[in-house]
Amino acid sequence: MATLMTERKRSALTRGRLPRYTPYVIAAAAIVIAAALMSLIGFNVFGWAVLSAVLFAAGNVISAAVVEGRRKATDKFATSLVVGAFLIALLPLVSVIWTVLVNGVPGLLNPGFLSSSMNGVTGAVDNASVKDGTPVMGGVYHALVGSVLITLWATIISVPVGLLTAIYLVEYSADNKFSKVITFLVDVMTGIPSIVAGLFAAAFFAMILGPGTKTGFVAAVALSVLMIPVVVRSSEEMLKIVPNELREAAYALGVRKWRTIVKVVIPTAISGIASGVTLAIARVIGETAPLLVTAGFASSINMNVFAGWMSSLPTFIYTQIMTPTSPSNADPSTQRAWAAALLLIILVMLLNLGARLVASLFAPKTGR
Amino acid sequence: MSTTKLVPKAGAGQAAKGRIGDKVFSGAALTAGALIVAVLFAVALFLIVQALPTFGAAPADITGGEGFFSYIFPIVIGTLIAATIALLIATPIGVAVALFISHYAPRKLAKGLGYVVDLLAAIPSVVYGAWGASFLASSLKGPYAWLAENAGWIPIFAGPASGTGKTILTAGIVLAVMVLPIIASLTREIFLQAPMLHQEAALALGATRWEMIRMAVLPFARGGIISAVMLGLGRALGETMAVALVLSSGPLIASLIRSGNQTIAAEIALDFPEAFGLRMHELIAAGLVLFFITLLVNMVARWIINRHKEFSGAN
Amino acid sequence: MSKRIDVSDLNVYYGDFRAVEDVNITIEAKSVTAFIGPSGCGKSTFLRTLNRMHEVIPGARVEGKVLLDGDNLYADGVDPVTVRSQIGMVFQRPNPFPTMSIRDNVLAGVKLNSRRMPKSDAEALVEKSLRGANLWNEVKDRLEKPGSGLSGGQQQRLCIARAIAVSPEVILMDEPCSALDPISTLAIEDLINELKDEYTVVIVTHNMQQAARVSDKTAFFNIAGTGKPGKLIEFAETATIFNNPSQKSTEDYVSGRFG
């Protein structure tokens, strides 16, 4: 083997490159300069951080432009923009979660918040609890019950319709005209504003049962309009990835098509379908607008979705903020609203995590 | 999968039963599909029927007293203003966030970040609304006052600034925060699908990361980005709670930092619970208008997606 | 316009797994070197470490030195971008940019470095590169057409034209003919023979006849078993490797008795 060439000390490959410690130097300089500038115009930590970041990015880009050339500078500029945009995006999102946590935790920990309704909680009660400094009365039990029942009924309506439609599209339609129409309309439905779905259900039941019909079931129908396309979409995707070999294997054994679907295709795809349904539930349980126009507002527990107004977590939050129970002392209502918001977020997150869990639990078992 | 027990015996009765099962099942599937078509037509039909009285009513009876067009026009414009603000903010940031997750973040971090973005898209709108109304509006009071003082000669920043911060600009920002995760997660999917083959080709030519993205990622993703933005627009147009809670509404005005303006969705949410008679029909008619606007936007988005699919089919 | 490559004690890892072990090799300037060996022996992985393209693969990292005329590619502060503009690469599957015309594909790398190039210079470079890739006569009338409209073999030669347009020192080829038909393969092999007058060429191939036809020297890589790292077994003149190898496993492999 030929003798190896020895490594050159001053590499041609690093010529015209900034030394590796450059970013650290620039970062230190940016922080110091930013602190100095901030002390001139009034110091605050947030402004300091922002100014430091901007100076750091500018320093990086300029030093690259001077030493390493236009291409490197452009690359660093793009990197600064992308990373900067990401940090900017984090701000409101962190702020939302922080606000909800800070404002929501006290109310949620309030004894009785989960187990009592707003029945009998009037402005006078709130005024008294503010005056005497006693714990805030009232809770979300009725709203929680309403949310669960309405979502349950929406699921009962949406899952069979959505799943059967997906089955039709994947297994029966053979891509005919009608299936194209359905696919198109499902896309259209995905884009229906939630308030319009609420209006539809309200208008529909107003024509059948007379104007002003507001029950939990009307709300469930409104949510179904939003939920069905999500279920169709996710189930369709899942059924499509079931390999055709499985179907053919079943047909070759003389199994009827519907038995093949029920016993072979759906079990194979069940994990994806179940997690899709869970995600759909997570989406509609937070819907507010359609409930406002279909279920009305209630302060007491109503277990019957077919009669009477019904409260739900999102509308509870909305009404507590917009029309505080005691107009002169809004604090108890605000506290209840944030606590309900925190509860709602926790529910949605649990459903999302549940969807992941379901997907891995029901995943088809491999031989190993 | 145990299939042995599925095999029917060759008995005639069994076979007939199976055939009926097939018919029932395919019938049910077809019915479900037809039901979706029926529901959508029903949505349109009921909205139209319930909206009709509005168009037959005397102009003086309509809210505002000058007929339906004068009533709907300002809130359509308000809806468009809020959605435009939202998209102007959310599009560049959302695409950058997607790019950060797909091409800049360390790989181990990227998966977690993608998950976080998906979770943020799942936060209920009423929570964003509550945040906008309580935290964001009050923290924007100062900047608005500053804008009114220093940039007041621009019509959109004309003073006096709102004392509560509950303006259409605040509502637009809240909408931006809400559609940002949607745009980010859709475009991230597209960026991740950009063919490695071409990205490697660019790198092997000595392209920097940004040059590689410009050569091999963005051209591939253009259609996907546009459709993601359109879907975000659809969401922003129809979003109710963020605006209903955040905006203290009023007549149409050019200034974005004063109380005023209103969107269709918020108008319905605020007034429908107490509406009856003609007012109810009016709001349903407004809902119909919103429905058609979002329908149009979504159809354009789908059209772009499909066209893009055909275009990239060869790859 | 070509440089030699000296590799010393190079190890490649995927996470904790050592994929290539202790490679020492010297690749002379203006020569064609072929890497042969069974699938999974690490020859493609090793090739990628010669212009740091392995960094695209998640978890891949390198220990050791790769010297390009004495400059270590892995020294502190070396930018992979600089490395890759001197050491070009042609991939297994032809990958012209689908959104660019044939002309823009050839100029893709050049345009990165000089934003404005006189039109006549650009035309001259396009012609020179395409002629260098034996493609000029076939495409000179349709330079504005998309590169993806060409046949597989033409696309691969377009990729070679794109690689030589930036005038690199070294061209790496990762099984450039494996997706091509025999006639296109022949065209590429002829081209490789011409390229060595100006460039250092390193080619990974599965096809032993191809290695015998095009290369001056051949390196045989082998793997002891699954889960074991790939190793450079023997490196010598191509004629020696194929006719008189010093290692038993090389002889087994080149005579088709591999197993």
Asked if B219 lies within 8 A of C112 by C-beta distance, the reply is no
Q: Give me the pLDDT at residue A292, please.
A: 86
Residue B276: inside a domain: yes
Burial of A40 (0-12, 13-18, 19+ CB in 10 A): exposed
DSSP letters of A142-206?
Answer: HHHHHHHHHHHHHHHHHHHHHHHHHHIIIII-TT-HHHHHHHHHHHHHHTS-HHHHHHHHHHHHH
Domain that holds residue B27: 2-46
| Chain C residues with CB-CB distance to B315 below 8 A | 98
**pLDDT reading at A220 higher than 60:** yes
Per-residue pLDDT of chain B (315 residues; tens, 9 = 90+): 444 444 444 444 555 666 788 888 888 888 888 888 888 888 888 888 888 888 877 777 777 777 888 888 999 999 999 999 999 999 999 999 999 999 999 888 888 888 888 888 888 889 999 999 988 998 888 888 888 888 888 888 887 878 888 899 999 999 999 999 989 988 998 898 888 889 999 999 889 999 999 988 998 888 888 888 988 898 899 888 888 888 888 888 888 888 888 889 888 888 888 877 888 888 889 999 998 898 888 888 778 777 765 444 333
Q: Give me the pLDDT at residue A52, please.
A: 87
Query: What's the average model confidence in pLDDT over A47-52?
Result: 85
| Chain C residues with CB-CB distance to B199 below 8 A | 56
Residue B217: inside a domain: yes
Segments making up each domain of chain A, as ranges: 14-105, 141-361
**Is there a single domain that holds both residue B35 and residue B99?**
no
Asked if B204 lies within 8 A of C84 by C-beta distance, the reply is yes
**Is there a single domain that holds both residue B41 and residue B72?**
no
For C27, phi then psi, to 5°, come to: -110, 115
Name the residue with higher pLDDT: C31 or C226: C31
Asked if B201 lies within 8 A of C91 by C-beta distance, the reply is yes
User: Shortest Cα distance from A62 to chain C (angstroms)?
Assistant: 18
Do the beta carbons of residue C14 and residue C57 sit within 8 Å?
yes
Residue of A196, A205, A242, A285 for testing the chain B interface, max B β-carbons within 10 Å: A196
| Per-residue model confidence as pLDDT tens digits over C228-250 | 888 899 999 999 999 989 988 88
Asked if B273 lies within 8 A of A292 by C-beta distance, the reply is yes
Of C24, C67, C79, the CB nearest to A7: C67
**Is there a single domain that holds both residue B77 and residue B220?**
yes
| Chain C residues with CB-CB distance to A13 below 8 A | 68, 71-73, 75, 78-79, 82-83, 86
| Per-residue model confidence as pLDDT tens digits over A330-349 | 788 888 899 999 999 999 98
Asked if A192 lies within 8 A of B294 by C-beta distance, the reply is yes
Asked if B238 lies within 8 A of A194 by C-beta distance, the reply is yes
| Chain B residues with CB-CB distance to C113 below 8 A | 206
Half-sphere exposure of A115 (CA within 13 A, CB side): 4
Of C56, C58, C162, the CB nearest to B205: C162
Q: Which run of H or of E encompasses B306?
A: helix B278-311
**Is there a single domain that holds both residue B290 and residue B205?**
yes
Query: What's the average model confidence in pLDDT over A84-94?
Result: 89
User: Shortest Cα distance from A49 to chain C (angstroms)?
Assistant: 28
Rounded CA-CA distance B123/C155 in Å is: 48
Asked if B29 lies within 8 A of A164 by C-beta distance, the reply is yes
**Is there a single domain that holds both residue B37 and residue B82?**
no
Percentage of the residues of chain C whose pLDDT score is greater than 90:
32
**pLDDT reading at C259 higher than 50:** no
Query: What's the average model confidence in pLDDT over A15-34?
Result: 83
Starting from the edge strand earliest in sequence, which strands make up the sheet with C5-14, in order? Answer: C71-72, C60-68, C5-14, C17-27, C230-237, C217-223, C32-36, C200-204, C170-174, C87-90
Do the beta carbons of residue C181 and residue C151 sit within 8 Å?
no
Nearest-by-CA chain C residue for A7: C70
Name the residue with higher pLDDT: B54 or A11: B54
Question: How would CATH label the architecture of A141-361?
Answer: Orthogonal Bundle (1.10)
User: The complex's ipTM?
Assistant: 0.84
Indicate the number of domains in chain B: 2
**Is there a single domain that holds both residue B236 and residue B298?**
yes
Of B96, B118, B294, the CB nearest to A85: B96
Q: Give me the pLDDT at residue A364, please.
A: 62
**Is there a single domain that holds both residue B35 and residue B130?**
no
Query: What's the average model confidence in pLDDT over C128-151?
Result: 88
Q: Which run of H or of E encompasses C36?
A: strand C32-36
**Is there a single domain that holds both residue B131 and residue B39?**
no
Q: Give me the pLDDT at residue A2, please.
A: 47
Buried b (16+ CB within 10 A) or exposed e, C87-104: bbbbbbebbbbbbbbbbb
Residue B113: inside a domain: yes
Task: Sort strands C170-174 and C200-204 into parallel, antiparallel or unpaired.
Answer: parallel
Nearest-by-CA chain B residue for C58: B107
CATH of the domain at B202: 1.10.3720.10
**Is there a single domain that holds both residue B35 and residue B120?**
no
| Per-residue model confidence as pLDDT tens digits over C69-113 | 888 888 888 888 888 888 999 998 888 888 888 999 999 888 887
Reading the block at residue B155, the tokens are: 């019509």
Q: Give me the pLDDT at residue A5, please.
A: 63
Nearest-by-CA chain B residue for C96: B198
Asked if B32 lies within 8 A of A171 by C-beta distance, the reply is no
Asked if A255 lies within 8 A of B118 by C-beta distance, the reply is no
**pLDDT reading at C171 higher than 90:** yes
Q: Give me the pLDDT at residue A259, please.
A: 86
Asked if B196 lies within 8 A of C56 by C-beta distance, the reply is yes
**Is there a single domain that holds both residue B40 and residue B77?**
no
Do the beta carbons of residue C159 and residue C95 sit within 8 Å?
yes
Rounded CA-CA distance C26/C184 in Å is: 30
